[in-house]
Amino acid sequence: MAAIDFPNSPTQGDTFTASDKTWVYLDGKWTLPSVDANGLVTSISSATSGQFLKWNGSAWVNDTIDLGADTAGSFVASLVAGTGVSVTNNSGEAATPTIALDATLDNLSNVTVPSPTANDVLQWNGTAWVNVAASTVGATNLDGLSDVVIATPEEFQSLAYNGTNWVNTYSPTVTYVRNAEATTLTTGTVVYLFGATGDHATVKRADNDSDTTSSKTVGVVAANILASENGPVVTRGYVDGIDLSVGYTSGDILWLGEDGGFTKTKPSAPEHLVFVGVVVRATSNGIIYVATQNGYELDELHDVSITSLASGQFLKYNGSLWVNDAIDLGTDTTGNYIATISGTANQISVTGSGSESAAVTIGLPSDVTISNDLTVTGNLTVNGTTTTLNTETLAVEDNIIVLNNNVTGAPSTNAGIEVERGSSTNVQLRWNETTDKWQFTNDGSTYTDLGAGGASISDTPPASPVPGQIWFESDTAKTFVYFDSQWIEIGALAAAGIVTMSDTAPASPADGKLWFNSSTAKTYVYYDSVWVEIGAGSNPASLNDVGDVTITSASSGQFLKWNGSAWINDNVPVINNLNDIGDVTITSATSGQTLQWNGSAWVNAIGFTGDSKQSILGNQIFG
């Protein structure tokens, strides 16, 4: 609603119309017209003392009563003095005419008053009015009348006919209405204003199921009203003749029920709440006191505007009115809220985010990628068929790595460690469940038992021995080691000083030196600057397995040649002339020259120089 610019310095009763509404200045403030009990709007304009509300066809307006135009029936506009009387003060608003006899009663032609006494009254005797004692003409008070029963009269009581007599009682507020139903409205029926017919309002049975049949509840039927007939409805006061003998006690609060009935059970939404009255007497001839009071719908309040109501909406103040609206988390709430939740590709998946009343699911995708470090403080269980570690360094704190952890019962599957060697054949170290031995392979296909190069026990030397192999001759009880292409008795070597027997390693050993550790009973050979336990290793599978031998693309006819750091395979040099010999350099040889050593090579020269008398003839060097 836009702001209203009211007139300045208004006075009591001033009116002002804006936005199709008429405001009235009352008691120091501008207010909207009030609503009467029947829900009709009144329009007050410059009210003055003594005015009344008058229906102008569209609203109740303040006005004076014009007796000629605004009242029904006959009225006295003025008094005219007749024979024998005089009239004074007969004109003007609120005049008080005075009528006086111009002569005494006895002077009237049809009145005979012989010797009147105090309290006499005039009585028609058939011919004239004559004075008689009041006691001779009947009852002197209401209770003396045959159809009037006065019992302890109280102030503000009135006479009401109870079907037999006129009795004194406090009169209810009663209105006469037309029954718009097709059936009789019985005593005690709760009714609502339906419309009007002729000079009477029409009513129907009230019902708490809808606003139409409840919000205009007017009262309770006081006596049976036939269909399309008029009858009494009490809007405030007592109604008797209602059977309240079952289920009711005095003091029960009554609420509008269904189909014109009332109930002592307070209705709840969506039923409409209308207060009817209270039980006064709970008998078969019960009495209720009627004081109807309608409940209100939210949109019936002057500062509430309900439009296109939808489920789940709230009332929100827009600055001038309370209106129905949905709650906008961004503008209608304070504090932080989460509008949507987003995941991270290959790390966290989110579904259902961003919709009303969404059930958001946060989880891991089928394939998870952790870009940064991941620390697992608990146990890590991987349930899959393949676990791949793409890492340069693997540090394992546990000193035992368990393979084939899921094996139960008798074992049948080999286990070990395989080394990926790129374009070369992979190699393995494995436990063979068939032979129950540790094995290794250097070519991916041939497996050698660990310890196969250790001691052999037999009465004949082992076939194809390798250097360092031990053989215990069973028929002589002698122990031999294979060294330098022969079997050497270990005891004989010791006697000859070739083998040292002590609990500490010999000092300054040479390669091939043997040492028997007397404290551990183990035999070692000194090789490549370290003591190697004889029998702890395995037989070399090929020359390339020997530490100082490097074989590269070997071909038929090649031999091993020392290159200064390792034995390598190479072709046999072909010597067709002297210049093909490595330490001979022939430069422009001429007849009669000889070979002469120049300090670094044999060169061709003439004759002998100095003391050098060395020469080469054929394949012999002479000095």
Is residue 258 in some structural domain?
yes
Contact (Cβ atoms closer than 8 angstroms) between residue 201 and residue 193: yes
487 and 607 co-located in one domain: no
Q: Is the residue at 315 inside a domain?
A: no
Tell me the CATH number at 241: 2.40.300
Which secondary structure element, helix H or strand E, spans residue 562, and what is its range?
Answer: strand 559-562
Q: What is the pLDDT of residue 545?
A: 64
Lowest mean pLDDT among 33-42, 249-258, 279-288, 488-497: 33-42
- Asked whether the predicted pLDDT for residue 280 surpasses 70, the reply is yes
Question: Partners of 516 in the beta sheet?
Answer: 501, 523
Query: Is 70 exceeded by the pLDDT of residue 618?
Result: no
In angstroms, rounded to a whole number, what is the distance separating the alpha carbons of residues 50 and 68?
18
Q: How many distinct structural domains can be found in the chain?
A: 4
Together in a domain, 531 and 596? no
Q: Is the pLDDT of residue 192 over 90?
A: yes
**Running DSSP on this structure, what letter comes out for residue 491?**
H
| 76-108 confidence digits (pLDDT tens) | 777 777 766 777 877 777 778 887 766 677 767
276 and 178 in a common domain: yes
Instruction: Please check whether residues 473 and 594 belong to one and the same domain.
Output: no
pLDDT digits (tens, 9 = 90+) for 296-316: 777 767 788 888 888 888 888
- The per-residue pLDDT for 33 is 65
What is the phi-psi region of residue 247: left when phi exceeds 0, alpha when psi lies from -120 to 50, beta otherwise? left
- In a domain, residue 78? The reply is no
- Contact status, residue 161 vs residue 145, Cβ threshold 8 Å: no
Q: What is the distance in angstroms between the CA of the first residue and the CA of the last residue of the chain?
A: 134
pLDDT at residue 139, rounded to an integer: 63
Instruction: Looking at the structure, tell me whether residues 476 and 590 fall in a common domain.
Output: no
Burial of 194 per CB tally in 10 Å (0-12, 13-18, 19+): buried
Single out the residue in 278, 295, 312 at which a domain terminates: 295
Q: Which domain holds residue 63?
A: 15-70
Q: Kindly state the helix (H) or strand (E) to which residue 233 belongs, with its residue range.
A: strand 230-242
Quote the tokens at residue 377. 């403080």
496 and 595 in a single domain? The answer is no
| Statement to judge: residues 495 and 595 lie in one domain | no
pLDDT tens digit sequence for 543-573: 666 667 788 888 887 878 888 888 888 887 7
Can you give the pTM of this predicted structure? 0.35
Same domain membership, residue 590 and residue 474: no
Q: Do residues 539 and 592 share a domain?
A: no
Asked, for residue 247, whether it belongs to a domain, the answer is yes
* Residues 189, 278 within the same domain: yes
DSSP string for 445-461: S-EEETTTTS-EEESSP
The pLDDT value recorded for residue 447 is 81
Is 396 among the domain residues?
Answer: no
What value does the mean pLDDT of the chain take? 80
Assess whether pLDDT exceeds 90 at residue 244: yes
Contacts of 571 (CB under 8 A, 6+ apart): 555, 557, 558, 559
Contact 27, 16 (CB under 8 A): no
**Quick check: is 122 in a domain?**
no
Q: What distance in Å separates the CA atoms of residue 116 and residue 347, rounded to the nearest whole number?
A: 125
Does 514 share its domain with 599?
A: no
More confident call, 319 vs 352: 319
Using CA atoms, how far residue 514 sits from 102, 217, 255, 467, in Å, is 180, 125, 120, 12
- Which one of 34-38, 49-53, 272-276, 536-540 scores highest in mean pLDDT? 272-276
Q: Please state the rounded mean pLDDT for residues 42-57.
A: 72
Structural domain includes residue 339 = no
Q: Is the pLDDT of residue 227 over 90?
A: yes
Q: What is the pLDDT of residues 463-502, one digit of tens each?
A: 877 777 788 888 887 888 887 788 888 766 555 556 777 8
Asked whether residue 4 is assigned to any structural domain, the reply reads no
441 and 533 co-located in one domain: yes
